Amino acid sequence: MTSDEDLMLEFQNGSRDAFEELFARYRQPLYRFFRRRIANDARADDLMQETFLAVIRAKVRYEPRSLVRTYLYGIALKQVMADRRWQARRPVTLLSDQEAATPQSEAPIWVKQALSKLEEMDREILMLREYEELSYAEIAKLLHLPLNTVRSRLFRARLALKTLLAGDVCQ
Amino acid sequence: MPINTHAFSNQEVMAYLDGELSPETAAEITAHLAHCKTCQEIAADLQGVSRQLSGWAVQATDAAGLPAALVAALETRAAEKTVRHRHVSPWRILGNHPWAAVAASLTVLIAGLFFFSSARRPVGYELAPAPMPIQPEQSSVAPMDAPRLQRFANLQSPPKKQETSPLIILTAELRLTARTFDTVRGDLGRILSQFGGHIAQLDIASPTGQARSLTATLRIPAPQLEAALNELRKLGHVEGESRRGEEVTQQSVDLEARLSNSRHTEQRLTEILAARTGKLSDVLEVEEKLAEVRGQIEQAEAEQKSLNNRISLATISLQVNEDYRAPLTGTVSPSIGTRLSNSAMDGLHAAFNGIIGLMQVILAAGPSLLLWGLLLGLPGYFLWKKLRRR
């Protein structure tokens, strides 16, 4: 199977098939990435598409110094940050995101609640490890943190989550 | 979770479970875990957390194939690339025609020799690197076939040049010393009109008895920067030169993302406003938010315009100092004869001045002395004569 990096280089050279293959590989992972961080289903889908649009726009600037996976999640993280900034500035509308959000019947409510109680950076590290299955080094690169910090924060997050989940279960 | 006081820390156990350790260390921990209950508990706790987290599954998106926005973007890119490919590389032409390569080499050689032998090369500066090329603005935008994708069109339609090459704000500083300062101002105007630039700021200082100076901030179309600098260097002797390029690609992308978000909100609010049949207060609230979002859009558009302006027009900070030469104050030493003659003349002048001075004293004090002489001298004379008779 052609590696992601080779596909990206082929796409840089004008291969549309290479892009479609990359899209097929990362469409669902990126959609799930956004879906776990954005309440609105349609918005998550939009952001996934915007991530690939950014890849198309910046294809000449891509350098094979890092994995395509890290590159994509780096763009995706920026999209999430921008969306959160927008949400924070955004006034309360008649139809808020909570109302517009697709019901997440598949999400155990206690898991989401416990995650929401974690410190933001710890939560991001934990989610990148557990759901996106990124390595410590990839997470460190994405979040611009030292590797040891990622490891210690990940451990702290897991420890805190265990306590939080145990508390919920006991209640 | 138990506290681990063993050779392996809790974090190492976690890294082992995450597959982050080297095979050797992993093998050691595997052996350790086989008999250490504390570490087994730690591992079990960590695995339990991961298991619970894995319960949050997300349904896959059901759409199939490339979304229309991506197809449109890909087609736009392909069209741009086709346009670029129409420009046949000169290297390819030379490769296909060896005689042309030889002729070109000779031409370059002769031109180089001519240049180095005849050109007056300014000293004191290094040749600056060529500016980053900015691609011409593209006007073709692929049609979007769904209203929902309008914001993607909005993302695409602003300056296309930003998407294909790094966006660079070019600035340059040039310090010159000019012998013919009087013509500098006129030459500056000529250069600006030649390259379509303008003066953002201009100060001329003309202190008495000192060198004059001209300080100006010039805005030149970025592609013309190098040529304009070449012309400016001819105004005098280059004392210093610096160039800087600030990449603002990320800033531009962020701005576009902000605009996209704001337009998305505006569109959504407009839809809500159109469909809403609720209370009047709700409608008024939506209208208020809509006005606020439009304000944000206008602000972002203004920022984008300003950024584009800074990208399209390079800034040159120019300082021209006059090559000022102070007038000579010393004189040539005179000959001995001249010096003696001068001394004699000085002596005569001094004697004459002495006589004049004495006469001035006599004339000024004479009447008073005569008066006091008569008043005191006559009685004194008679008194002396009377005493002498006795």
Q: What is the ipTM of this complex?
A: 0.83
Secondary structure letter of residue A14 according to DSSP: T
Residue B382, classed as helix, strand or coil, is helix
Query: Which stretches within B54-183 are classed as H helix?
Result: 68-85, 90-96, 98-118, 150-156, 161-164
Highest averaged pLDDT of the listed ranges B56-70, B274-288, B359-373: B359-373
Alpha-carbon distances, residue B377 vs B318, B370, B383 (angstroms): 88, 10, 10
**CA-CA distance, A93 to B289, in Å (whole number)?**
7
Give me chain A's average pLDDT, please.
Answer: 84
In this complex, do B81 and A93 lie within 8 Å of one another by their Cβ atoms? no
* Contact status, residue A93 vs residue B272, Cβ threshold 8 Å: yes
Residue in chain B lying closest to A91 (CA): B289
Task: Taking each helix axis as running N to C, give the angle between helix A136-143 and helix A68-89, from 0 to 180 degrees, rounded to the nearest 10.
Answer: 40
Q: What is the pLDDT of residue B1?
A: 58
Whether the per-residue pLDDT at B89 is higher than 60: the answer is no
* Cβ neighbours of residue B15 closer than 8 Å, sequence gap 6 or more: A136, A151, B21
Give me chain B's average pLDDT, please.
Answer: 77
Residue in chain B lying closest to A152 (CA): B11
In this complex, do B292 and A91 lie within 8 Å of one another by their Cβ atoms? yes
Tell me which chain B residues have a C-beta less than 8 angstroms from the C-beta of A168. none
Confidence band for A136, pLDDT divided at 50, 70 and 90: very high
pLDDT tens, residue by residue, B195-251: 888 888 888 888 877 788 888 999 999 888 888 888 888 888 888 888 888 888 888
Q: What is the pLDDT of residue B87?
A: 47
Confidence band for B102, pLDDT divided at 50, 70 and 90: low
Whether the per-residue pLDDT at B359 is higher than 90: the answer is yes
- Of the two residues A102 and B20, the one the predictor is more confident about is B20
Residue indicated by tokens 């930003």: B162
Q: How many angstroms separate the CA of residue B252 from the nearest CA in chain A?
A: 12
Tell me which chain A residues have a C-beta less than 8 angstroms from the C-beta of B70. 23, 49, 52-53, 56
Mutate to test the interface with A, among B1, B14, B20, B49 (most CBs of A within 10 A): B49
Entry pTM: 0.44
Confidence band for B156, pLDDT divided at 50, 70 and 90: very low
Whether the per-residue pLDDT at B348 is higher than 90: the answer is yes
Cβ-in-10-Å burial (0-12, 13-18, 19+) of A138 comes to: buried
